[in-house]
Amino acid sequence: MAAVIPSNPAAWLNLTGRVAIVTGSGSGIGRSICQTLAAAGCAVVAADLDAEKVKETAGMIAKEDSKAICFPVKTDVSDSAEVEKLFKRAEEMSQDLFSAPPSILVNCAGITRDGWIGNLTPGEFDDVLSVNLLGPWLTSRQFSLRKSYFPSSPHSGSIINISSIVALHGNLGQSNYAASKAGVLGLTRSLSKELSTYNIRVNCILPGFISTPMSSAVPDKIKENMVQKIALGRFGRVEDVADLTAFLASERSGYMTGCEINCDGNIAM
């Protein structure tokens, strides 16, 4: 007999009582992920370098549902000490609410410093790798230090890394960004093997061209050329990535780890 999916998505995902840490929560995909997880019943710790933007995210979630829980935290994910503080604050909140540590981590923080390789500086290369690759490694490391909780937990720990379709195909003027996002794939593959023993799953989403504040800086002519290469004939919405993230956070994906899922409308790069 086929399973019956409840009409309430939150009931189907069954994320109530769990705590999620989401980096890059100040806008775009990260903000949408926070909204989606909160709507599904999660208590969300929203982290971002921009304190005002992440407060806006928390305010939007509270406006959408007065019972939703979202704590904004200013965090530089490339700074080991700040990441450690983020997890300690999230753990304190989680223990107060549910007597359990955060069980979901979404690594969405990312920056670009685009330019042809001859025009890029070593500092611009390092800046991108520090946020886009070192950041997920630092947060995943902190998450792994709580690994003793998950073997006896009724649900697995879940790390979801947001990479990019550029990691597979590269892109003009984005040698630093493509390298960082390809590194996220390697990180996902390795951690999925390391942490599986502890009932922690690690998966990766590769968004294509998604309409976000970051992509709004792309010239219109390039956007017009890009959409012609997408089989579905449109740019992605932040909700497309957020919905997939919520699925990977839930036990509905409980037999999935080490997976790399394209969310790109079938783009021909």
**Catalytic residue positions, numbered:** 177
- Determine the residue type at 218: V
Report CA-CA distances (Å) from 220 to 55, 184, 231: 31, 29, 19
Q: How far apart are the first and last CA of the chain?
A: 41
Report CA-CA distances (Å) from 58 to 34, 49, 107, 111: 9, 14, 18, 21
44 — phi, psi (to 5°)? -115, 130
- Cα 28 to Cα 64: distance, rounded to the nearest angstrom: 17
- Cα 100 to Cα 108: distance, rounded to the nearest angstrom: 23
214 — phi, psi (to 5°)? -65, -40
Region of residue 147 (phi > 0: left; psi between -120 and 50: alpha; otherwise: beta): alpha
Q: What is the 3-state secondary structure (H, E, C) of 217-240?
A: HCCHHHHHHHHCCECCCCCECHHH
Task: Return the residue matching tokens 């890029």.
Answer: 120
- Cα 78 to Cα 49: distance, rounded to the nearest angstrom: 10
The total of other beta-carbon atoms located within 10 Å of residue 210's CB is: 22
